[in-house]
Amino acid sequence: MNVSLLEEKQKIASTTSASRNIFYNKKTKYEKKQPASQLHLMQAVIESFVDGIFILTTQGELVHANERARCICQDEVPYEIQRICQSLNESRQLFPSQNISIESEINTESEAKIRVRARWLQENESNNDYLIVTLEDRKQTNQSMAISEARKYALTERETQVWLLRRANYSYQEIADELYITINTVKKHLKNIYAKQQISVDS
């Protein structure tokens, strides 16, 4: 083979190899940026949750709290939640091979009922364990469910108002007082609501 032709082929091969290295290097740089991007994505997801979320270390130190959690608990982890996390820690010592979660209900200073769920969250890369605590505002959940049901069963505006209060555990008298109607009218609206729900079930 002609020497000049061989040199030319080697030069092309070298250039191609260099191009490939540049390509793979760029990919590697992108991959290095992925964890940071994933972190921002996860933070955005956590912030978008309706429920409050705390992430704590096994020692009870706060790692992250979304806006909803800070709003519910006024920027601190309540003592009741700390005790729930302590119980979860103790349960792991007793049952190390089981993935246990603990659920409880607490009242905040504003007298809101909050359902608390605590469970383990393991970070695969570092094998560090964290506790994730979700806070569900029972009143807000009931309101959301009532609105969803009102749409599902095509309730009228007044029926929706009655159903929202009933879902919030108001008595017939309390609903009547709140909406300035009689108890018989409340019963009539609820009868219509239950009838619409039954029709939806039967269809």
Q: DSSP secondary structure string, 106-173?
A: EE-TT--EEEEEEEEEE-TTT--EEEEEEEEEHHHHHHHHHHHHHHHTT--HHHHHHHHHHHTT--HH
Does residue 37 lie within any of the structural domains? no
The pTM for the full model equals: 0.60
100 lies in the same domain as 171? no
* 153/35: higher pLDDT: 153
Asked if pLDDT for residue 137 goes beyond 60, the answer is yes
Q: Does 203 score more than 80 pLDDT?
A: no
Q: Does the residue 103 lie in any domain? A: yes
What band does 151 get if pLDDT is binned at 50, 70 and 90?
very high
Strands of the sheet with 113-122, listed across from one edge: 62-65, 52-57, 129-137, 113-122, 102-107
Asked whether residue 11 carries a pLDDT value surpassing 80, the answer given is: no
**Tens-place pLDDT, residues 68-92:** 888 877 767 888 888 998 999 888 8
Residue 87 is part of a domain; what is its CATH number? Answer: 3.30.450.20
Residue 97 is given by DSSP the state T
Phi and psi angles of residue 169, each rounded to the nearest 5 degrees, phi first: 70, 30
Residue 27 in any domain: the answer is no
Task: Look at residue 26 in the predicted model and tell me its pLDDT.
Answer: 43
103 with 72, same domain: the answer is: yes
Q: What is the pLDDT of residue 173?
A: 95
What is the per-residue pLDDT across 27-51, written as a single tens digit (0 to 9) for each?
Answer: 444 444 456 677 677 777 777 777 8
> Which of 115, 139, 163 is the last residue before a domain boundary?
139
Residue 178 domain boundaries:
153-202
Beta bridge partners of 55: 64, 132
Count of alpha carbons within 13 Å of 4, Cβ hemisphere only? 0
Asked if residue 85 lies in contact with residue 160, where contact means CB atoms within 8 angstroms, the answer is no
**139, 172, 188 — which closes off a domain?**
139
The answer to whether residues 56 and 131 belong to one domain is: yes
127 and 178 co-located in one domain: no
Average pLDDT score over the chain: 79
Least confident of 2-16, 61-75, 78-92, 148-162: 2-16
Q: Please state, for a pLDDT cut of 90, what percent of the chain lies above it.
A: 29
Let me know if residue 175 belongs to a domain. Answer: yes
Q: Is the pLDDT of residue 120 over 70?
A: yes
Q: Same structural domain for residues 59 and 132? A: yes
Confidence of residue 149 (pLDDT cuts 50, 70, 90): very high
User: CATH number of the domain that 168 lies in?
Assistant: 1.10.10.10
In this structure, the answer to whether residues 169 and 88 fall within a common structural domain is: no
Tokens linked to 48:
């978008």
Distance, CA of 200 to CA of 38 (rounded, Å): 43
Q: What percent of the chain has pLDDT over 70?
A: 78
Region 10-39 average pLDDT: 49
Q: What is the number of structural domains in the chain?
A: 2
